[in-house]
């Protein structure tokens, strides 16, 4: 069976592009059908029912359970209005990198609001979320330093670690005890130490045990960076994320987050001490050498931050839906993991079965994410469903019923 790795590298004696031709041929076979579920495009606003189009087909409405726009802020009237005002005042694009005037005063306002949200001294906004992790890690860490990563961290954290040239260590997923052992084995008198972890793990939906992680880091002289891409606006008593849920907002050194999930825009940020943010502005190459965030995106995000700061973005309604979705899927017999966020995995653990199940769901009009290697280990492959604030109880009931029927048809449920 061909796998992801079959098309990763140029074979000996092959032309550089030969692997691309081999991949295209494989995708055009029936066995490549699984990948066709990755080629759907939205043909309208993302909401509980979203128009999606497969290549060469007319758009049709799908029950949408595969969007990270958990709070439906992309279509919130105040947010749309913020984008429109910015578009009219500044135009569509930034035209330059941040340090060459690309960062509008809207971006500066956004940074100030983000810093305030976390109780930090300052924040820096990157034009991309992936770029935020890569930029922060490669600016602050270098050869001689150590970065300890949770094994389930997002690819951008691993890529930033690699680019930094720091010594990379990996601890078992969610295990502060293993992290402690990894840190304890480091030689004294080496360079700087950083523990980097997702707050909410994007493919599992579970939370990093930040109280214990911060404790272990402090005992061994390490700083802590949390990428709370999927926690912002969703997790914690007021939606300030995983660090708030564990009561350690003021003990996390680098609050990294994405503006692309619940905030429904684009970009990433790091909120931290003012001197750290100053350093990042000059040394984070994904900031320094990359064009600033477009004004309409910044204008929308300023409105999003106002809603999040007031905890007025509909977090409670979202959580009602998360609980309902998890309860219905568990009752149907699915393994949905421990929970903690709006991401609900449905473990299948068999790639062929997963592909057949996903195709079946698409035929039935339900969209959710198919997650397999390289996004997770093959033997942990799964569907990934995301609850949204605007799902109605009937949407959730219908999605669970479609899944249960398809699960039985495809041998995932007895």
Ligand X SMILES: Cc1ncc(COP(=O)(O)O)c(C=O)c1O
Strands 223-227 and 254-258: parallel
Q: Which residues contact 15 (CB under 8 A, 6 or more apart)?
A: none
Q: For residue 142, give the DSSP letter.
A: -
How far apart are CB 175 and ligand X at their closest, in Å?
A: 18
The CB-of-58 to ligand X minimum distance in angstroms stands at 28
CB of 128 to ligand X, least distance (A): 5
Backbone φ and ψ of 197, nearest 5°: -145, 145
Is 73 or 406 the residue whose CB approaches ligand X more closely? 73
Active-site residue identified among 154, 220, 255, 261: 261
In whole angstroms, how close is the CB of 303 to ligand X at the nearest point?
18
CA distance 223 to 148: 10
Q: What is the 3-state secondary structure (H, E, C) of 300-368?
A: HHHHHHHHHHCCCCCHHHHHHHHHHHHHHHHHHCCCCCCCCCCEEEEECCCHHHHHHHHHHHHHCCEEC
Give the Cα separation of 220 and 103 in Å (integer): 38
Which CB atom, from 48 or from 263, has the smaller least distance to ligand X? 263
Question: Least distance (Å) from ligand X to the CB of residue 307?
Answer: 19
Residue nearest to ligand X (CB): 129
Compute the least distance from the CB of residue 76 to ligand X, in Å.
19
Q: Would you call 25 helix, strand, or coil by DSSP?
A: helix
For residues 105 and 299, the answer to whether their CB atoms sit within 8 Å is no
Q: 49 φ, ψ to 5°?
A: -115, 120
- Please, are residues 368 and 65 in contact by the beta-carbon 8 Å criterion? yes
Beta bridge partners of 366: 63
Nearer to ligand X, 50 or 156 (CB): 156
Rounded to a whole number of angstroms, the minimum distance from the CB of residue 156 to ligand X is: 5
Q: What is the DSSP string of 211-225?
A: HHHHHHHHHTT-EEE
CB-count burial class (<10 Å; 0-12, 13-18, 19+) for 5? exposed
Annotated catalytic residue, options 230, 358, 389, 391? 230
- Catalytic pick among 202, 260, 341, 372: 202
**Residue 369 or 410 having the CB closest to ligand X:** 369
Please indicate whether residue 261 is annotated as part of the active site. yes
For the CA atoms of 154, 160, 165, 170, the dihedral, rounded to the nearest 10 degrees, stands at -10
Which C-beta is closer to ligand X: that of 158 or that of 367? Answer: 158
Q: Residue 324 to residues 136, 206, 387: CA-CA distances in angstroms?
A: 37, 17, 9
Q: Which is nearer to ligand X, 258 or 271 (CB)?
A: 258
Least Å from the CB of residue 229 to ligand X: 4
Q: Which is nearer to ligand X, 223 or 230 (CB)?
A: 230
For ligand X, the closer CB: 176 or 229: 229
CA atoms within 13 A on the CB side of 290: 20
Residue numbers of the site for ligand X (CB under 6 A)?
Answer: 128-130, 133, 154, 156, 198, 202, 227, 229-230, 258, 260, 268
Does residue 306 have an active-site annotation?
A: no
Which among 94, 100, 91, 92 is positioned nearest to 289, based on CA atoms?
100
220 in catalytic set: no
Beta-bridged to residue 223, according to DSSP, are 194
Taking alpha carbons only, the member of 331, 325, 328 closest to residue 386 is 325
* Residues tagged active-site: 202, 230, 261
């Amino acid at each position: 069976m061909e796998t992801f790795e079959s098309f990763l590298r140029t074979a000996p004696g092959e032309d550089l592009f030969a692997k691309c031709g081999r991949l295209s041929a494989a995708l055009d076979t029936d066995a490549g059908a699984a990948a066709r579920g990755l080629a759907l495009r939205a043909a309208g606003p993302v909401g509980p029912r979203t128009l999606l189009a497969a290549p060469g087909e007319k758009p049709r409405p799908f029950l949408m359970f595969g969007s990270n726009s958990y709070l439906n802020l992309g279509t919130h009237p105040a947010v749309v209005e913020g984008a429109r005002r910015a578009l009219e005042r500044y135009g569509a694009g930034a035209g330059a990198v941040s340090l060459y005037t690309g960062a509008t005063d809207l971006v500066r306002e956004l940074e100030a609001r983000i810093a305030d949200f976390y109780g930090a001294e300052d924040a820096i906004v990157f034009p991309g979320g992936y770029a935020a992790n890569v930029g922060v890690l490669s600016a602050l860490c270098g050869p001689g330093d150590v970065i300890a990563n949770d094994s389930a961290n997002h690819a951008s954290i691993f890529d930033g670690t690699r680019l930094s040239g720091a010594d990379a260590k990996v601890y078992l997923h969610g295990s502060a005890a293993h992290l402690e052992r990894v840190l304890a084995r480091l030689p004294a008198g080496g360079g700087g130490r950083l523990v980097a972890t997702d707050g909410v793990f994007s493919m599992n939906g579970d939370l990093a045990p930040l109280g214990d992680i911060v404790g272990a880091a402090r005992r061994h002289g390490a700083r802590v960076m949390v990428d709370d891409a999927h926690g912002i606006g969703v997790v914690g008593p007021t939606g300030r994320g995983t660090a708030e849920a564990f009561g350690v907002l003021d003990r996390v050194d680098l609050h990294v987050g994405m503006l692309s999930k619940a905030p429904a825009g684009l970009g990433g940020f790091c909120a931290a001490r003012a001197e750290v943010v100053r350093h990042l502005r000059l040394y984070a190459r994904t900031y320094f050498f990359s064009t600033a965030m477009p004004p309409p995106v910044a204008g929308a995000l300023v409105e999003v931050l106002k809603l999040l700061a007031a905890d007025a973005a509909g977090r409670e309604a979202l959580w009602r839906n998360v609980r309902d979705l998890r309860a219905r899927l568990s009752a149907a017999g699915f393994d949905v993991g421990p929970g903690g966020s709006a991401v609900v995995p449905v473990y299948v653990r068999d790639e062929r079965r997963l592909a057949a199940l996903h195709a079946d769901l698409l035929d039935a009009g339900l969209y959710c994410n198919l997650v397999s290697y390289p996004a997770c280990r093959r033997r942990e492959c799964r569907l990934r469903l995301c609850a949204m604030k605007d799902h109605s109880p009937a949407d959730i009931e219908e999605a669970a019923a479609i899944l249960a029927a398809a699960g039985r048809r495809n041998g995932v449920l007895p």
